[in-house]
A and B are shown apart, each in its own frame.
Chain A
Amino acid sequence: MANDWEPDLERLLDEHQSMVFSLALRMTGDRGLAEEIAQDVFLELDRQTGKIRSPEHARFWLRQVTMNRSTDALRRRKVRGMDLWVELEDGHAVHAEDRVSPVGTRLENLLATLPEPQRAALILRYQEDMLPDEIAATLDAPVATVKSNLQRGLKLLRAKATSNLREFIRGA
């Protein structure tokens, strides 16, 4: 019964730390910052446990707050005049053990160059396997905007990949 469910921070950490960390990492491109965001998100969850009604609500809440915190962190960095993706291009932000394949790493780096709303939509679509209406609810944006961001983002990423990755030329 969802009504009997009580949030337990340690269990939620076990279940969702990978999701929260990955979302923050792909939005910010900075492992340290992503870990900091993930910590803050779970501590905020611990403060808000009274408002969390079900496991699904907890997952939705974690995704939403992680995306918001990541966007805020990116804006703060822009204000400070730091270029996050310089770190990614230099290979400092992605740990060696994270690299699935050179193509994957390259594709992830190209994803990082997309405009923030398109990147957010694509991350939620392909990392979290979410539908446009679910993404819209998470990002608090109209479904039409999310669909547009998904289409434009995918088109732009495909174009960048075509010119950057020979592996995709045949598939494009």
Chain B
Amino acid sequence: MEHEPLDDFERELKLTLERRPAPPSLKRRVIERREQRRHPQTTMIWMRLAAALLIVALLGGGLRWGLQRQEERRQGEAARRQVMIALRITGHALNQVNSRLTAHNRGGE
């Protein structure tokens, strides 16, 4: 397939449609954007690492808080048991005192 000869109008159109020079900044901007596109890849790695560290820190903090609460609950339970034992001993002693007093009162009558 070959070009057919151009008439005057087509020649004028061809002259009008000559390539325009690209803006002088075009090349620089493309190169800059290419560099920016490459740079975020390392930034992304750091961001992912930071996110992973944050998650680990949150999990560690949560675990520690949970263990602390468990320990506090255990200590509270032990204290409650000790109080119950003390109350039981006291109750037993009072019952004995009460029995003796009752026996003493009966002897007196």
Residues of chain A touching chain B, judged by Cβ–Cβ distance below 8 Å, are 9-10, 13-14, 17-22, 25-26, 31, 35, 38-39, 42-43, 46, 98, 100, 103-104, 107-108, 111, 122-123, 126-127, 129, 131-133, 154, 157-158, 161, 168, 171-172
Scan B5-32; emit 1 where CB is below 8 A from any A CB, else 0: 0011110111111111111001101110
Partner of B19, one of A10, A38, A127: A127
Q: Kindly report which residue of chain A lies nearest to residue B23, judged by CB atoms.
A: A35
What are 25 of the A-B contact pairs (CB < 8 Å)?
A9-B30, A10-B31, A13-B27, A13-B30, A17-B22, A18-B22, A21-B23, A22-B19, A39-B33, A43-B30, A100-B16, A103-B16, A104-B16, A107-B12, A107-B13, A108-B16, A111-B13, A123-B17, A126-B17, A131-B3, A154-B9, A157-B13, A171-B8, A171-B9, A171-B12
Chain B binding surface, main DSSP class: helix
Q: Taking each of B3, B21, B30, which has the highest tally of chain A beta carbons within 10 Å of its own beta carbon?
A: B30
Q: Kindly report which residue of chain B lies nearest to residue A154, judged by CB atoms.
A: B10
Q: Kindly report which residue of chain B lies nearest to residue A17, judged by CB atoms.
A: B22
Residues of chain B touching chain A, judged by Cβ–Cβ distance below 8 Å, are 1-3, 7-10, 12-23, 26-27, 29-31, 33-34, 37
Tell me the bound Cα distance from A35 to B29 in angstroms. 10
